[in-house]
């Protein structure tokens, strides 16, 4: 199916008021190398049809710095032995590593009636609401996507939309080593400091954070619970 055929099929599917929205599939993937996982997201997005269920991938990555499409390499200060990968999301440079919870929502935005800003807001609100259950007051900032606690950043957001569907997503610091963030200007902001749940409230594992965050992600995206 080429892009024009996919667009026609999507229009016909959405024009049918009785067409059900398939329930999203949640995949807990564990620790995955960055580049193969990124390529898998691209393939999923390119091959999906209007009937394909959305998928939410939850995972961790080995240490890696990622640069957005229009990111400046000057924000990578001293990567050392951590690889740097140029990718196709928006935003500047960030770090992923073990102990950080990454959520990749592959969402058909047309079917879900969501804009890109709606998707970013849903992910930010999910983290803010989860943090509130832990007694943490978190917030977002105008013009600086992500979730913050006071002046420190708890979660970073970067999205790509292709063929009306999203991939990439949000990364929340849980028990990860924060030192690698000192090797970059996180999200392009010199001097920005990061914070993790382990230091804010004692959350001791990514697994605990995953189970706590997931219902909020699904509620904000679909007003639904996990399947």
Q: Band of the pLDDT at 9, cuts 50, 70, 90?
A: very low
Q: Residue 182 belongs to what domain range? A: 3-222
Catalytic annotation present for 140: no
Decide if 88 is inside a domain. Answer: yes
* Catalytic-role residue among 58, 64, 120, 187: 187
Q: What total number of domains does the chain contain?
A: 1
Structure tokens at 158: 């970067």
Q: Write the DSSP string, 42-83.
A: HHHHHH--TTSPPEEEEEE-SSEEEE-TT--GGGB---TTS-
Decide if 14 is inside a domain. Answer: yes
The CA-atom distances, in angstroms, between 107 and each of 52, 90, 169, 182, 203 are 10, 17, 10, 33, 28
Decide if 90 is inside a domain. Answer: yes
Report pLDDT for 19: 52
Report pLDDT for 224: 54
**What are the strands of the beta sheet with 93-96, ordered from one edge?**
84-86, 64-67, 93-96
Decide if 10 is inside a domain. Answer: yes
Structure tokens at 9: 């099929």
Q: Residue 99 and residue 83: Cα distance in Å, rounded? A: 18
Report pLDDT for 20: 65
Decide if 130 is inside a domain. Answer: yes
Decide if 151 is inside a domain. Answer: yes
pTM here is 0.89
Decide if 227 is inside a domain. Answer: no
Decide if 114 is inside a domain. Answer: yes
Q: Which residue has the tokens 């929502």?
A: 105
pLDDT, tens only, 22-50: 899 999 999 999 999 999 999 999 999 99
CATH number at residue 127: 3.30.930.10
């Amino acid at each position: 199916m080429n892009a024009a055929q996919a667009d026609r099929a999507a229009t016909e599917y959405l024009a049918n008021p009785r067409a059900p929205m398939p329930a999203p599939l949640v995949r807990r993937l564990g620790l995955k190398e960055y580049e193969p996982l990124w390529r898998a997201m691209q393939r999923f997005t390119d091959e999906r049809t209007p009937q394909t269920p959305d998928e939410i991938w939850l995972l961790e990555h080995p240490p890696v710095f990622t640069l957005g499409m229009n990111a400046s390499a000057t924000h990578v200060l001293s990567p050392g032995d951590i690889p740097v990968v140029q990718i196709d999301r928006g935003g500047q440079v960030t770090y992923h590593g073990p102990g950080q919870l990454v959520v990749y929502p592959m969402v058909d935005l047309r079917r879900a009636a969501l804009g890109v800003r709606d998707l970013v807001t849903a992910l930010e609100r999910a983290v803010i609401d989860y943090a509130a259950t832990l007694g943490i007051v978190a917030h977002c900032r105008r013009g600086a996507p992500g979730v913050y606690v006071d002046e420190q950043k708890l979660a970073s957001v970067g999205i790509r939309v292709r063929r009306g569907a999203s991939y990439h997503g949000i990364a929340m610091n849980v028990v990860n080593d924060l030192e690698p963030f000192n090797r970059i200007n996180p999200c392009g902001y010199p001097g920005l400091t990061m914070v993790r749940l382990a230091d804010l409230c004692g959350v001791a594992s990514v697994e605990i954070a995953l189970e706590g965050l997931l219902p909020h992600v699904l509620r904000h995206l679909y007003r639904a619970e996990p399947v």
